[in-house]
């Protein structure tokens, strides 16, 4: 008798998710700068699809806060203001400080040690001069800590900020702000404190870095208090 083969279910993303991911990457990567118009018919032609998936993708990106729909302007890539920066980082800091406390209490040693792979990815991307990969690896490092917290609602709230966070990391890098470092940098220090089950020290390092980045970004002419 031939044994039955076990079927493994493979999750295939919907077309609108693929489109949203590509547009998101182009925005974060700077290929679509603030103010760029996003026209459904043009995007449908570019991606070889109907307008339905394009419309769904744009709705998702607007929900994430990286594009906006305005009367007489249509849909455009949004600009980050100082208010956006303050809001994103204040909520992000609160979520990640909680994640550090939860991860310190719940995560096993193997889970925390596994986060080191993202430090290696950051170092390799910096050495290769691959800005897009640095942003991705940096984001994955912080996402991994939130996952290690074992709190689904916390992770969901953090994911709502993932795209704006990536945009701000990209902007900081373009301004030559020392936001991302691998071994010996703040990422390594945060993780080491977490592995040592010292969330207060990890949180202090994280908060100090966030404050330094915010202060530096505030000096940039890219930020104004004007509304979108």
For residue 158, how many other CB atoms are within 10 A of its CB? 23
Taking the C-alpha atoms of residue 126 and residue 171, their distance in angstroms, rounded to an integer, is: 15
Q: Which CATH number fits domain 82-218: 1.20.120.530, 2.160.10.10, 1.10.287.990, 3.20.20.480?
A: 1.20.120.530
pLDDT over 70 percentage in the chain: 87
166-184 pLDDT per residue, tens: 999 888 887 765 554 444 4
Radius of gyration of the chain (CA): 19
Tokens found for residue 178:
């020392």
15-77 folds as: Arc Repressor Mutant, subunit A (1.10.10)
- List the domain boundaries for the chain: 15-77, 82-218
Taking the C-alpha atoms of residue 67 and residue 77, their distance in angstroms, rounded to an integer, is: 4
42-64 pLDDT per residue, tens: 999 999 999 999 999 999 999 99
- pLDDT attached to residue 206: 96
pTM strictly above 0.75: yes
């Amino acid at each position: 008798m031939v044994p039955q083969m076990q079927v493994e279910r493979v999750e295939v993303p919907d077309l609108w998710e693929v489109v949203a991911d590509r547009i998101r990457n182009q925005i974060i990567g700077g290929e679509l700068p603030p103010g760029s118009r996003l026209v459904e018919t043009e995007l449908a032609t570019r991606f070889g699809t109907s307008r339905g998936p394009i419309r769904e993708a744009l709705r998702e990106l607007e929900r994430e806060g990286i594009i906006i729909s305005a009367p007489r302007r249509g849909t455009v890539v949004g600009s980050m203001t100082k208010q956006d920066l303050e809001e994103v980082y204040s909520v992000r800091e609160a979520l990640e400080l909680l994640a550090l406390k939860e991860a310190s209490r719940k995560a096993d040693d193997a889970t925390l040690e596994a986060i080191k792979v993202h430090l290696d990815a950051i170092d390799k991307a910096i050495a290769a001069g691959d800005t897009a990969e640095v942003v991705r690896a940096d984001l994955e490092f912080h996402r991994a800590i939130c996952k290690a917290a074992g709190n689904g609602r916390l992770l969901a709230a953090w994911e709502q900020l993932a795209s704006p966070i990536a945009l701000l990391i990209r902007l900081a890098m373009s301004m030559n702000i020392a936001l991302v470092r691998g071994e010996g940098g703040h990422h390594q220090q945060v993780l080491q404190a977490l592995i040592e089950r010292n969330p207060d020290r990890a949180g202090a390092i994280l908060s100090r870095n966030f404050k330094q980045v915010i202060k530096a970004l505030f000096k940039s002419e890219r930020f104004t208090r004007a509304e979108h």
